[in-house]
Amino acid sequence: MLDAIEIHVQGGNGGHGMVSYHREKFVPQGGPDGGDGGRGGRVYLRAVDDVYTLEQYRSKKKFKAVNGGNGGPNLRHGANGADIYLDVPTGTVVHDVETGDLIADLETLGQEVIIAFGGRGGWGNKRFATATNKTPGYSQKGQDGEEVDIRLELRMLADVGLIGLPNAGKSTFLAAVSNAKPKIANYPFTTLEPMLGVVNVGYERFTLADLPGLVEGASEGYGLGFEFLKHIRRCRVLLHVVDCSSPDPVTDYELIETELRAYDPKLDDVARVVAVTKADLAPEMAEDSAAILSGHLGKKVWVVSAESQQGAEELTAELMALVNIEKARAAATPPEDLPVLRPPSEERFTVVRAGERRYLVEGYRPVTFVQMMDTGMAGAQDEIIRRLERWGIAKALRQAGAERGDTIVFGEVELTWEG
């Protein structure tokens, strides 16, 4: 079962701005009319409820939104690139691979986050026209889309997890109430890895995970050990099934619960439903076992049979109701330490001396602007200087000691200071 995977996502690149001049009969010198490029598409992650695993990202791992169209003459704006939506199961947690930062916790059905912004469209030459600069012969390139490697992790395995001793009848119950077709056999450890099924209850549904049976010492690694206890922690509700033909249902029950507690005391707080199964085999014994367990636990114990479906409908309705309560509870508890995704600030910038006659400008607006300018085009450098003056960056550079001929670094672009 795939519960973590890394993928690469990239927003679409912005379209290039155009250099063009208005042409009309009898108008000898038309003004600039080059249009802007469109913005690149964004990559979204979306929490859905009809995908239960990350399997779909096993083969395809690179996703890019559509690039923006280039600007055209006559002020034609390039088309914005289409966004793409990547569906992930509700309960997926997203980290930035490089920094390790938590980017998003898609805990609520329908929740969407932008994971990579598209690049801005470059400005066409019309944008740069002023009273003193009537025919700018330069435009901007489109900005590259944001690129990031992300790690998707499925924190929630299933709404309900089946726990119990080996051979208790967990897989058979899953097969009886869901669309899953697990392997069933009359020996312990038939189930070797979790399997998910979808259970429909009226118009609602929940996912039910079949988990391998636990044995004494599981918390120390016996049987199938830790791996599965880890999965158990990732269920909202646990359905603990006990074989009705067992001579001592209370001991069976406590053995499992002791292992869970030893692994993680927090598992005690997970909502629990208890059912005695295989009731068709020995109906009276099933009632007796349920009564004994119920007396021991001080709560209702269900009597079911996967074979005859006895009690199955009532039990799944109860599980659905509990899942809804737990979902509402999870939605009401905001995840810890979640950074809020904000567009980068346009206003702030810093100027740092980065060596002999070398200065580094940081800040979203200046760096983006300079990187997008096609510095090979005539007049583009002057345009940059004018903007840097207007934004106060030229002044900051001079204060930091920058002189004519020094190198100024804006992200990937290096300029020689002429200001």
Ligand X SMILES: Nc1nc2c(ncn2[C@@H]2O[C@H](COP(=O)(O)OP(=O)(O)OP(=O)(O)O)[C@@H](O)[C@H]2O)c(=O)[nH]1
Q: Which parts of this chain interact with Mg ion (CB under 5 A)?
A: 171, 190-191
Q: Which does residue 168 bind out of Mg ion, ligand X, none, counting CB within 5 to 8 angstroms by kind?
A: ligand X
Helix, strand, or coil (residue 128) = helix
245 forms part of the interface with ligand X (CB under 6 A): no
Least distance between ligand X and beta carbon 230 (Å): 17
Using the minimum distance from each CB to ligand X, give the nearer residue, 247 or 265: 247
Question: How distant, in Å, are the alpha carbons of 45, 57, 405 from that of 53?
Answer: 14, 9, 57
191 forms part of the interface with ligand X (CB under 6 A): yes
Which of 281, 292, 360, 377 contacts ligand X by CB under 6 A? 281
213 forms part of the interface with ligand X (CB under 6 A): yes
Q: How far apart are CA 233 and CA 223, in angstroms?
A: 18
CB 228 within 8 A of CB 157: no
Question: How distant, in Å, are the alpha carbons of 6, 113, 205 from that of 50?
Answer: 21, 18, 10
CB 168 within 8 A of CB 245: no
Size of the site for ligand X (CB under 6 A): 24
172 forms part of the interface with ligand X (CB under 6 A): yes
Which of 160, 168, 319, 322 contacts ligand X by CB under 6 A? 168
Least distance between ligand X and beta carbon 177 (Å): 11
CB 107 within 8 A of CB 47: yes
Q: How far apart are CA 191 and CA 212, in angstroms?
A: 5
190 forms part of the interface with ligand X (CB under 6 A): yes
Helix, strand, or coil (residue 134) = coil
Strands (E), 123-277: 147-154, 158-163, 195-201, 204-210, 235-243, 271-277
Least distance between ligand X and beta carbon 302 (Å): 12
282 forms part of the interface with ligand X (CB under 6 A): no
280 forms part of the interface with ligand X (CB under 6 A): yes
The number of residues in the chain equals 419
What H or E segment, with its residue span, contains residue 232? helix 226-232
Instruction: From 70-78, 88-96, 144-152, 167-175, give the range in contact with ligand X by CB under 6 A.
Output: 167-175
167 forms part of the interface with ligand X (CB under 6 A): yes
**Of 81, 102, 93, 112, which Cα lies nearest the Cα of 11?**
81
Least distance between ligand X and beta carbon 182 (Å): 7
73 forms part of the interface with ligand X (CB under 6 A): no
Helix ranges, 352-404 (H): 364-372, 380-390, 393-400
70 forms part of the interface with ligand X (CB under 6 A): no
Instruction: From 12-20, 65-73, 170-178, 399-407, give the range in contact with ligand X by CB under 6 A.
Output: 170-178
185 forms part of the interface with ligand X (CB under 6 A): yes
Which of 13, 139, 305, 316 contacts ligand X by CB under 6 A? 305
Least distance between ligand X and beta carbon 1 (Å): 15
* Paired tokens of 145: 């889309």
Least distance between Mg ion and beta carbon 47 (Å): 29
Which of 92, 140, 246, 277 contacts ligand X by CB under 6 A? 277
CB 377 within 8 A of CB 371: no
Q: How far apart are CA 403 and CA 419, in angstroms?
A: 8
Least distance between Mg ion and beta carbon 209 (Å): 11
Q: How far apart are CA 369 and CA 374, in angstroms?
A: 10
Using the minimum distance from each CB to Mg ion, give the nearer residue, 191 or 289: 191
Q: What are phi and psi of 200, to 5 degrees?
A: -90, 130
Least distance between Mg ion and beta carbon 183 (Å): 7
Using the minimum distance from each CB to ligand X, give the nearer residue, 237 or 242: 242
Give me the residues that bind ligand X (CB under 6 A), please.
164, 166-172, 184-186, 188-191, 212-213, 277-278, 280-281, 305-307
